[in-house]
Structure 1
Amino acid sequence: MRPLRFVALGDSLTEGVGDPVGDGWRGWAALLAGGIGGGPSVKSVESVEFTNLAVSGSQTRDVLERQLPAALALRPDIASVVIGVNDTLRCTFDIQAVAARLDTVYSAFTEQGAVLLTACLPDPGAMLGLPGALARPLARRQRAVNAVVHALSERYGAVHLHAAEEAWLTDRAMWSADRLHPGERGHRQLAVRFHALLAEQGLATGSAPSPEPEFPEPTKSASLWWLATAGTGWVARRCTDLLPQLMTLAVDEMRHRVRGTSARLDLRTAHAVSAALAALSAGEQQPDAA
């Protein structure tokens, strides 16, 4: 009997940044893999074959064009797709394009019969502690991505984790020095919560990952050194092309706050999300109309 195949797609979060093991990263998906077993959709298995295709810096386009073909070739029983934060950090951000890509990815896995795992994520501005005028535009973008992920997860029957809120976000013990990636404890928290959702559906029969770290937490000096030598560069590489636009967004934000019209910005985003989802629905109905 072949092993159950679990494939993970995404960016640095799924790659495991913040949870170092040896010379590489481990992360929540690898931790989760050890506790997945057989369920209603697959026969009981003794082993799990885990493949992590996630690459740091990836956007939804990368998942669609590069990771998805490799994942489908593996014919996974379970596939996780956790992506979107890097899209919000780019000047090319387009919620309609994000929605269309995610719809294609989700559809491809469900058509193959894979169980789909998804998650909504916290906005990077809040995690970095940016000033309000800079943080709010990023938060609005992340809320838009999360709204799309929520809607599409429901459409495709995904096992969805609400990771964009709750107390774990404000617990510094969960996060690495860069404040954008979970540390080992945070990655374990994600794995434990995904395992609980899968267990509810009979899709995870192995033992849940331990929530307690296996390795000592990095010292403050070690964390600061990593941030200075690698972490800051990570943030800079992903935000450089956004900074000019972000300043424009911040000015627009402040102008609306002075006028008392900030609600218009939220309404504009809500309309964009609705239009993106409506476009997908219209595309589905077109062949029938023909």
Structure 2
Amino acid sequence: MSPARVRGHCPPVRFVALGDSFTEGVGDPVPGGRRGWAALLAEGMDDGVRGVEFRNLAVSGALSCDVRDSQAAAAAAFRPDIASVVVGVNDTLRRSFDLMGLAQRLDEVCALLATGGAVLLTACLPDPGSVLGLPAPLARPLARRQRAVNAVVHALSARYDAVHLHASGRAWVEDRSLWSVDRLHPAERGHRKVAAGFHRLLLERGLAPGAPPGTEPRQPPPTRAAAALWLATEGTGWLARRSTDLLPQLLCLAAAEIRHAARGTSATLDRRAERELLRALAALKPPAAGHRTSDPPAPSPVPRARMEG
């Protein structure tokens, strides 16, 4: 989406999106590339008067460290009025998963953008095991990880008064029409539902005066041949990469699930995950007045009160 021209004397609303393939737009192909929920939301934020300047910095495969180390500085330099930070699923799919480190990295990103005056958009997402329909011994470890990530996101959303979208419930998992052929990324309908959900929440704050994004797809669904081709090319590549990274550990985690289930001690794994979550939340430093993780540029010339008024 090209930046809108300034209309009248009001500068356009600046909206930047950070994250991974969920935000990059995978699953929502359009002529010339990908679109995704963030671009759809940007269109719904344009009231035809001020305009919207939108940049999508999300990159497929990004981890929380990539968002902090690469995307956050570019986003802060853009001086956004609104910034979406949706990341973490890829972290749960790595054998190096570190909840405390993820929480600290997300906190740094949120602090940097909020200190610069941006309203943050966040979301909790379904765990990949449920969406993929994996067997219970494989799905449960991923579910614990994603629940923990969602809990961290909830805590940070409250800390920074973020606009938070709950997108992890059963309705999101069970509605097959929301997901693309790979069962990991939203299809066009899913991207539209995310965009419409954020638009509704922003409208409640007076931040999305434009028309809400439509919820019905405008592109025909992929044919079986196209779906098979995707799985045979990109899908196979994804599986190969994860097989050398996550799969060995996931099999070990699954074996532990089976052992504890046989002994009737599955609750032990849940309690262990809860303790790790409490440690991660406790390790977050309380925000100080004027806190900065680096030296961001001056706040946007559009005052927050004006945007919300």
What is the TM-score normalised by the length of structure 1? 0.93
Classify the secondary structure of the residue corresponding to 2:245: coil
| Partner residue in 2 for 1:23 | 32
Among 241, 245, 269, the alignment partner of 1:241 is: 245
Q: In structure 2, what is the Cα distance between the partners aligned to 1:213 and 1:235?
A: 28
Q: Does 1:141 align with 2:138?
A: no
**Deviates most, 106-115 or 222-231:** 222-231
Q: Does 1:48 align with 2:52?
A: yes
Q: In structure 1, what is the Cα distance between the partners aligned to 2:53 and 2:286?
A: 38
Q: Deviations over 1:5-48 (max 9, x none)?
A: 1000000010000000113111000000001158xxxxx95210
> Is the Cα contact below 8 Å between 2:19 and 2:87 reproduced in 1?
yes
> Is the Cα contact below 8 Å between 1:195 and 1:204 reproduced in 2?
yes
Question: By how many angstroms is 1:200 displaced?
Answer: 0.9
| Partner residue in 2 for 1:41 | none
Classify the secondary structure of the residue corresponding to 2:283: helix
Q: In structure 2, what is the Cα distance between the partners aligned to 1:229 and 1:127?
A: 21
| Partner residue in 1 for 2:165 | 161
- TM-aligned CA distance change 1:238 to 1:112, over 3 Å: farther
Q: Deviations over 1:201-260 (max 9, x none)?
A: 111000000001111111122112212211232243245311111111111111111111
What count of residue pairs does the alignment treat as equivalent? 281
- TM-aligned CA distance change 1:45 to 1:270, over 3 Å: farther
Question: By how many angstroms is 1:130 displaced?
Answer: 1.4
1:7 maps to a residue whose letter is: V
- Give the RMSD, CA atoms, in angstroms: 1.8
1:20 maps to a residue whose letter is: P
Among 124, 127, 141, the alignment partner of 1:120 is: 124
| Partner residue in 1 for 2:217 | 213
Q: In structure 2, what is the Cα distance between the partners aligned to 1:167 and 1:200?
A: 23
Structure 1 ranges of 4+ moved more than 4 A: 282-285
> Is the Cα contact below 8 Å between 1:37 and 1:203 reproduced in 2?
no
- TM-aligned CA distance change 1:283 to 1:158, over 3 Å: closer
Among 47, 57, 64, the alignment partner of 2:61 is: 57
Question: By how many angstroms is 1:168 displaced?
Answer: 3.1
> Is the Cα contact below 8 Å between 1:90 and 1:239 reproduced in 2?
no
Q: Does 1:11 align with 2:24?
A: no
Q: In structure 1, what is the Cα distance between the partners aligned to 2:151 and 2:239?
A: 25
Q: In structure 1, what is the Cα distance between the partners aligned to 2:196 and 2:239?
A: 27
Among 268, 276, 281, the alignment partner of 1:264 is: 268
Among 183, 198, 201, the alignment partner of 2:202 is: 198
Identity across the alignment (%) = 64
Among 232, 237, 259, the alignment partner of 2:236 is: 232
1:67 maps to a residue whose letter is: Q
Q: In structure 2, what is the Cα distance between the partners aligned to 1:238 and 1:197?
A: 35
Q: Where does structure 1 lack aligned partners over 5 or more consecutive residues?
A: 39-43
Classify the secondary structure of the residue corresponding to 1:241: helix
1:180 maps to a residue whose letter is: L
Classify the secondary structure of the residue corresponding to 2:195: helix
> Is the Cα contact below 8 Å between 1:173 and 1:185 reproduced in 2?
yes
**Deviates most, 70-79 or 169-178:** 169-178
1:277 maps to a residue whose letter is: L
> Is the Cα contact below 8 Å between 1:89 and 1:239 reproduced in 2?
no
| Partner residue in 1 for 2:41 | 32
Q: In structure 2, what is the Cα distance between the partners aligned to 1:117 and 1:236?
A: 32
Question: By how many angstroms is 1:166 displaced?
Answer: 3.6
What is the TM-score normalised by the length of structure 2? 0.87
Q: In structure 1, what is the Cα distance between the partners aligned to 2:273 and 2:288?
A: 23
- TM-aligned CA distance change 1:50 to 1:241, over 3 Å: same
> Is the Cα contact below 8 Å between 1:128 and 1:179 reproduced in 2?
yes
> Is the Cα contact below 8 Å between 1:59 and 1:84 reproduced in 2?
yes
Classify the secondary structure of the residue corresponding to 1:215: coil
Question: By how many angstroms is 1:126 displaced?
Answer: 1.4
**Deviates most, 160-169 or 146-155:** 160-169
Question: By how many angstroms is 1:135 displaced?
Answer: 0.9
